[in-house]
Amino acid sequence: MSPFLLTRTLPEDATDADLRADVLHGLTCTPKVLPPKWFYDARGSELFDEITLLPEYYPTRAEREILIARAPEIAAATHARTLVELGSGSSDKTRHLLDALSGLHSYVPVDVSESALSAAAASLLDERPGLSVHALIADFTRGLALPGTPGPRLVAFLGGTLGNLLPDERAVFLKSVRSLLAPGDALLLGTDLVKDEATLVAAYDDAQGVTAAFNKNVLSVIDRELDADFDPDDFDHVAVWNRENEWIEMRLRARSALTVKVRELDLVVSFEAGEEIRTEVSAKFRRDGVRAELAEAGMELRQWWTDGEERFALSLSVAV
């Protein structure tokens, strides 16, 4: 079997400490906020997989369409010998790149979930004899040190996840990615595009209520991990298009005045009727904006591909 290494750069207790800090800060600030990364326990991940199959949720299908059509061009433009994927999850879409990168030596998936990394690596190694996989259990938003694999490197950040970061956070993140790139290395970036409001809102508020369950799941995570007494039925799922910032906001809105105890934090949180917790920002992009943000981080946009309906884009940029 091909080589498989698993390296942990995230401390064992980091997830618990981060959750405690985020919940304490988020539920005591005004307005209340919770980071979207806490959606993704086992149940949340299952729900998100369901979301990607919904007729309203186009980003996954659109990005896959681009990858299938453009993977040979990406391979020809980069000649990558190492593929680094940030937030790799199941590595499902990445297979199109792996198939196209004929000279690939190493795949470096990066994720906070050890189980996801191990499962994906086992599947890939069965399919691709000769591929070296060096998985990193790491939080890529905190900066990253990559293993000593051969160049050129292609860093992939897919799924439109960049949009979950606020503008200042995106600037920091893109500069950290730039620091990983040597001359000849490239960044493949997935970005959801600005489009009509009805399409955008429907993608985050589907008719079957799967996204609502996904949103409310963050409350179940807090209940389980921090001994809280949130009742998800006390909240409505809300998806709103913020025209000024060009992003979707997902929120949880209290149906009535209520009080919640978070016992592990010795915290009591009061909600007024109609008060909201913002649980996700999902920014949508325009080509010129992506080009400007990449340039500010020290990268030059070289290629721009969209799906047939121009809903989603993949861009290829290089270090300058």
pLDDT, tens only, 78-120? 999 999 999 877 777 888 999 999 999 999 988 877 777 787 7
Strands (E), the chain: 4-8, 32-33, 82-86, 106-111, 132-137, 153-157, 186-192, 235-242, 247-254, 258-262, 267-271, 276-283, 299-306, 312-319
Q: Which domain holds residue 76?
A: 59-195+285-319
Of all residues in the chain, the percent with pLDDT exceeding 70 is 98
Over residues 186-209, mean pLDDT: 97
Does 38 share its domain with 159? no
Measured distance CA(10)–CA(54) in Å, rounded: 33
Over residues 266-286, mean pLDDT: 98
Q: Is residue 4 part of a domain?
A: no
DSSP 8-state symbol, 305: E
Does 102 share its domain with 152? yes
Does 64 share its domain with 138? yes
Confidence of residue 1 (pLDDT cuts 50, 70, 90): very low
Q: Is residue 5 part of a domain?
A: no
Of all residues in the chain, the percent with pLDDT exceeding 90 is 72
Q: Report pLDDT for 2.
A: 58
Supply the CATH number for residue 117's domain. 3.40.50.150
- 160, 281 Cβ separation under 8 angstroms: no
Q: Report pLDDT for 140.
A: 83
Q: Is residue 10 part of a domain?
A: no
Q: Report pLDDT for 5.
A: 81
Q: What are phi and psi of 111, to 5 degrees?
A: -160, 160
Does the pLDDT at position 297 exceed 50?
yes
Amino acid code (one letter) for 168? D
- 103, 79 Cβ separation under 8 angstroms: yes
Q: What is the DSSP string of 263-300?
A: GGGTEEEEE-TT-EEEEEEEE-B-HHHHHHHHHHTTEE
Q: What are the structure tokens assigned to 3, written together?
A: 């080589």
Does the pLDDT at position 13 exceed 80?
no
pTM higher than 0.75? yes
Does 66 share its domain with 208? no
Q: Report pLDDT for 100.
A: 94
Does 141 share its domain with 75? yes
What's the pLDDT tens digit per position in 26-80?
999 999 999 998 998 878 888 998 999 999 999 999 999 999 999 999 999 999 9
Mean pLDDT across the chain? 92
Q: Could you tell me which residues come within 8 angstroms of residue 315 by beta carbon, excluding any fewer than 6 positions away? A: 188, 189, 191, 290, 294, 301, 303, 304, 305
Q: Exposure of 33 by Cβ count < 10 A (0-12 exposed, 13-18 middle, 19+ buried)? A: middle
Over residues 202-223, mean pLDDT: 97
Over residues 307-314, mean pLDDT: 97
